[in-house]
Amino acid sequence: MAKTRSTYRCGECGAEGPQWTGRCSACGAWNTIVEERVAPPSASATTSRPTSVAMPIAEVEGAGWEPRPTGIGELDRVLGGGLVAGSVTLLGGEPGIGKSTLLLQALSSLAGGGARCLLACGEESAQQVRLRASRLGALEPRLFLVAETELPAILAHASTVVPDVLVVDSIQTVHDPELASAPGSVAQVRECAHRLVRAAKDSAMATVLVGHVTKDGNLAGPRVLEHVVDTVLSFEGERHHALRLLRAVKHRFGPTSELGLFEMTDAGLEGVPDPGRLFLSDRQASAAGSVVVPTLEGHRPLLVELQALVARSPLNMPRRSAQGLDAGRMAMVSAVLEERVGVTLVAADVYALAVGGVRVIEPGADLALALALTSSVTGTPLPADLVVCGELGLCGELRQVGQMGRRLAEAARLGFRRAVVPASAPDGPPGLEVLRASTLVEAIARAGLVLGAKPVGFPRAVPA
């Protein structure tokens, strides 16, 4: 009889090796390798005949795979209409971001619309979930609840309830006592996910798995999960802000470019269908250092205020702080300002942020950041009706960014009248004057900032 053999697997990335090591050679994580026992394949597995029949693609039945709307508009937008029967979706996000709340609201809405729903919660007791459900008004008769962590029990409940939609919160708490490996190990999570995927396909129930995410944004432990499921959604946001962003990282049934926007309120998550003025409501347009940039999140233009504050630093190593912005791009923009424009920042503390808890990391925000810094250094506010968009090159030249027309149209819709853009940008919509510039120096002038003949900024003090 063939022997059971051991393999060694990394708990972080799922890489497999022949022996135990202290550090995973694939992802570099320490102390993550665990032993897994692998049963030999049965003799019949290799010789069995297929039970399925290959058929021409046009004859494969395609009905029944239309998405079922969840009734949560922003979620449906990201899913491309709703949940597809038999599909498996993984919802990832940091603890406390609102994954359980979002799914409870979605299930309640689905159940209210006639779907049978089953929520298997392993993280909270049934009482806790019920308490939250009554606060959210989610006490629907077709919404069933089990507090279970054992996979066979969850699957047994699923075959009695026969739900249209099953939610497992979270996949990391699910385990199968028949498997040799420890609960929470990669082998457990992966095997349980495989079985849930099989159950979803066999009984055509749409399944949503909740997955935890580590600090650096990866799904905790098993990246392997991402390959098994049809859709991976990522729920993001700053914990101290109410704004939450939902994106599809992988989607077998639709585009991955849509963005869903929610606000966390006392009554759960509320969709933000028109985010137009969301980030601009408290803006002090007359303050130096404030610039509005039309960014693009997926297909959605968002107008975001960037702020910069440049102040003389008492420190030998001045502070550089970039919140919601890419620190590397800020360093690049500062260097270009210094070398190509002559705005010196070496002895200054520089603070920059994207207002409202949103992350603006696209290169299209370079020019806006450069103008915000210049505006702060010179103490001159930019015109209140001005938006700024463009990528900055290392030679101080401005470069075109994608979908400029869409960005400018949104700016015009929200009442902006002028836009500083790269020279190659297309014309704007009626009512929006396009101010073209081919270099950063030109853009600074077109935005109405005057640098003058004297050196600008905060050079290092020369010792007396």
Q: Please give the residue ranges that form the binding site for ligand TYD (CB under 6 A).
A: 93, 95-101, 132, 136, 264, 266-268
* Position 172 contacts Mg ion (CB under 5 A): no
**CA of 295: how far to CAs of 191, 221, 233, 440, in Å?**
41, 33, 21, 19
Q: Which C-beta is closer to ligand TYD: that of 99 or that of 340?
A: 99
* Residue of the chain from 32, 70, 87, 100 that contacts Mg ion (CB under 5 A): 100
Smallest gap, in angstroms, from Cβ of residue 132 to ligand TYD? 5
Q: Is 277 helix (H, G, I), strand (E, B) or coil?
A: coil
- Which residues have C-beta within 8 Å of that of residue 150, sequence separation ≥ 6? 174, 175, 176, 177
Q: Which one of Mg ion, ligand TYD, none is in contact with 95 (Cβ closer than 5 to 8 A by kind)?
A: ligand TYD
Question: Shortest distance, CB of residue 124 to Mg ion, whole angstroms?
Answer: 7
| Identity at 340, one-letter amino acid code | R
Residue among 101 and 295 whose Cβ is closer to ligand TYD: 101
- Could you say which of Mg ion, ligand TYD, none residue 268 binds, taking C-beta under 5 to 8 angstroms by partner kind? ligand TYD
Q: Which is nearer to ligand TYD, 149 or 439 (CB)?
A: 149
Report the Cα–Cα distance between both ends of the chain, in Å, rounded: 87
Name which of 117 and 343 has its Cβ closer to ligand TYD: 117
Residue 37 CB neighbour total at 10 angstroms:
12
Q: Which is nearer to ligand TYD, 249 or 331 (by Cβ)?
A: 249
Q: Smallest gap, in angstroms, from Cβ of residue 223 to ligand TYD?
A: 19
Q: How far is the CB of 97 from Mg ion (least distance, A)?
A: 9
When CB distances are held under 5 to 8 angstroms depending on the partner's kind, the choice from Mg ion, ligand TYD, none that residue 222 binds is none
d(CA 300, CA 410): 9
Question: What is the helix (H) or strand (E) element at residue 157, kind and residue range?
Answer: helix 151-161
CA–CA separation, 104 and 114 (whole Å): 15
* Contact of residue 97 among Mg ion, ligand TYD, none (CB under 5-8 Å per partner type): ligand TYD
Question: What minimum distance in Å lies between the beta carbon of 135 and ligand TYD?
Answer: 6
Tokens of 423: 């020279």
Q: Which is nearer to ligand TYD, 93 or 422 (CB)?
A: 93
> Where does this chain touch Mg ion (CB under 5 A) — which range of 100-108, 214-222, 410-418, 443-451?
100-108
DSSP assignment of 388-441: E--EE-TTSBEE--TTHHHHHHHHHHTT--EEEEETTPPP--TT-EEEEESBHH
Residue placing its CB nearer to ligand TYD in the complex, 86 or 211 = 211
Give Cα 233 to chain centroid, integer Å: 8
Measure the CA–CA gap between 138 and 106, rounded to whole angstroms: 9
Question: 186 vs 6, 142, 183, 233, CA distance in Å?
Answer: 15, 33, 9, 20
Q: Pick between residue 210 and residue 408 the one whose CB is nearest to Mg ion.
A: 210
Q: How far is the CB of 276 from ligand TYD (least distance, A)?
A: 24
- Considering the complex, what minimum distance in angstroms separates the CB of residue 221 from Mg ion? 17
Q: How far is CA 435 from CA 366, 385, 408, in A?
A: 17, 13, 12
What is the residue whose two structure tokens read 């929006």? 432
Number of residues that bind Mg ion (CB under 5 A): 1
For residues 312 and 385, give the distance between their C-alpha atoms in angstroms, rounded to a whole number: 29
Site string for Mg ion, 279-318 (x = CB under 5 A): ----------------------------------------
**At its nearest, how many Å lie between Mg ion and the CB of residue 430?**
48
Of 100 and 149, CB closest to Mg ion:
100
CA distance 405 to 429: 8
Looking at beta carbons only, is 218 or 313 nearer to ligand TYD? Answer: 218
342 contact, one of ligand TYD, Mg ion, none, CB 5-8 Å limit per kind: none
* Rounded CA separation 250/198 (Å): 19
CB of 168 to ligand TYD, least distance (A): 13
Report in angstroms how near the CB of residue 207 gets to ligand TYD at its nearest. 17
**Residues engaged in binding Mg ion (CB under 5 A):** 100
